[in-house]
Structure 1
C-alpha cells in the first residue's frame, strides 16, 4: 500500500494533463466545426454567438446569445445546446439532441417566438454549399427528425394582422417516406381585421401522413401529394367567435384509407353548435326563426379519384331541436386537386334524402307567411288545401308531411336525366311543383 502513495501525484498529473488534452482537442474540433459551418452558409449569411464551449468528447457544444442571419430570415436564441454529433458527408450530419431556449425567428412577412425547441435525432442533409448570390436552403422537405417539441410558440403575421399561439406541439417521425404524428395543445388564432375573429382548438392529434413528402410536394408543385395509407385526425373543443359566438364543436374525429385511385373517409362532428350572425346580417337560421343550430353530423364517403366521383353512404345530420336528415348521394366532376371550387363544378348524379321533422317545418311555414305578410295559420291552411287538391302525387305527399310532420317523414328522390349542378339544387327544389322542372330532375316526394 505504501508503494502506491508516490504514484498518486503522478496519477493526478496524468488526469490533469489528459483532461486538458481532451478539452484542447474538443475546443479545436468545435472551432473547426464552427468555421466549416460558416463556410457552408455562404457569404450572405452570418453566424455569431457570445460564448461557445465544447461538451464531452467533442460530440456537442453549448452556445449562448446565438444569432444566425441570411437575407431571408434572422434566428436569435439565448441558449443552444447540441449533443451527440455524428455523421459524415455521405449520410448527412446527425445531431442526437438540440435544445434552443428563448428563440425568435424573423422574416419580412412574420415573426415566430418560442420558449423552447427540443429536437431529438435530427439529420441535416448534405446540400451544395451556398453560392455568392444565394443562401443555403433550409431543406424542410429533406430533414429527418425522430421527435421534436415546441413550447409556447407565438406567430405574428402583420400583413394579415394574424396572431397564432400554440402551448405545446410535438412532431414524431418526420422524414420522407415516414409515417408521422402531430400532437398539439391549445392552438389559438386571432385575426385582428374588423370584425375580429378568434379560432381555438384545445387539442389536435394527427396520425398517418408523411408530412415531409407533403412539404416537398408543396415546395415543388404547390399541391399536396395523394397518400395511400391510413390517416386519423382527432380534434377536441373547436371554437370560432367574433363579437358573438359563431361555431363550437366538442369533438371532430376523421379516419381515412386510400389507394392509388380510391379514398374512403369517415368523419364525425360531435355536439356541433352553429350560431346565426344576428338580425343585422340575416342567415337561413334567422329566416326560419332559429338563433342557433345544435346537433351531430356523420359523413361516410367513398371517392373515385380516377372518375372524379364521390358516393355519400350516408351523410346524417341529427338535431334534437330541428330534426334528422339522412342523405345518400352520387356526385361527379369533383376537383380533387382543387377542392375550393367544388360548388362550381360538382354535379348531383342521384340522391335520396329522408327528413324526420321536429320543428323545422313549422318554422319554415311561419317564415314564408311572414315574407308574404300573411297570418301564419291562414297561410298554412291555404297551402295545405292547395297541396291536397293537386294532381301531382309528390305535392300531395308534401301536404301530408306538412299536415302532420312528426307522423310522416319526408322522402325525396332525385334522379335527373343528366347530372345537375350542386349550386342549382336549391333553385330546382323550390320549383318542384312545376312538372317541366320535376320531370327532368327525376324528382319524387313521398311519405311512408
Structure 2
C-alpha cells in the first residue's frame, strides 16, 4: 500500500490511511528491521539461541541471517502456531523453531520448554546464550512448578485471562507457578554469558514483565502472587496455595549471582512504533498526537475515554484541532461476562468507542493488535466509520447488546469491518488510532 497520502487523499480514503498507519507501526517493530544492530560479537565458545514469543520465529530468522555463516550457531525457539515466517519454514536454518499454543499453553509448549532447559546443561563461561524474547512467551514457556500439572496451568491461565487482571498482575502469578520464568532460564544458563534481545509488548517496557521475564531478575514475591490470586478469586490447587504461603516457589531475585553475566537489550517498543505512525501522519499534513504507549484498564472504558476526546476535538476544537490523528497503545483488559462471545480487547475497545461516538460525523477509528491476532480469533482488530452503527443496526445488530455479551467480533464481522492481516511476526501490543477530520 502506498504511503503517498496528502490531506485530500486522507479525506477520500480515511480507512486506507488508518490501515497504513497500522502497517507502519508493525513494520517499525519487525525483527528484520531492528535485530541485527544489537547482536554481540561471537564468543570464544559456542553460541546457543533460546527464546519464546509471538515474534521469536521471526527473531530467529533475522538472527540467523545476520550471524556470520562461518560461526557455529544452534538453538531452539518457541512461537505461536502459524507464526514461523514462511521463508524460514520452507527452508529451515540453524535455529529450530517449534510452534505451540497461545494464550492457553498446550503439551507442545511444555515439551519444547523442557527441551529448552535441557539445552542449558553443560554450558561454560566461554559460551554465549542469545535469548529471543517477545510477548506471548509466558504461555509458550510452559514448565509448571513442581507439583503442578499442565492442566493446572491451563485452568489458572484461562481464569486470569477472563478476570480483568493487568498483564503485570497475570505475569506475576505466572512467574511464581513456573519452573522456567521469573529469571529461572537465565539462572539455568550460568556460568555462560546471557544476552537477551527483547521486543516489548507491556506497559512501561519492564523486561521482568515481558513474557514473565524468563531471563530477568524478579522483584515480586510469592506473597504478591497470592494477593493477586485472591483479589481476582482465581481458583488454584491446594499444593500451589501452600507453596506460595511458604514462599517455596520464589523466583530469582535481583542480586542473584547466577544472573551476574546476564544482560538485556530492547529491540522495539510500543512507543517507537506509535511515533513512526505519527511521523507518517504528519507527512500527510495532519497533526498527530501519541497519548500514551502504556494505557491499561477495561478496553470498553478506554474506548469511551478516546471517544470523549475525539468528540471534544470535533465539536470544541480542544485539546487538539482537526484534522488530526490521535494514537495510543498499551494493553487493556477484558472482563469476560459471556464466555460464548467472540472478540479480543481491540474490538471491545473499538465497540465501546463506537457506542460513545454514536455516529459522530468526521471521526474514524482503527484498533488492532500488532501481532495480527486479537485474542483467539483470526483478526487483528477492526475499523470504525461514522456510519458503522447505522449499517449494523440495519442488519439487526445491537451495539450495546454486543458489548455486554463480549461479542464485538461478531458485530464488526457483520458489517465487514474486521482487520485481518494474519500473523505479523512481531508484537508491540495494542495499536489504536482515531482520525478526526
TM-score range, shorter chain: under 0.3
Higher alpha-carbon Rg = 1
TM (normalized to structure 2)?
A: 0.22
Which structure carries more helix by proportion? 2
Higher strand share: 1
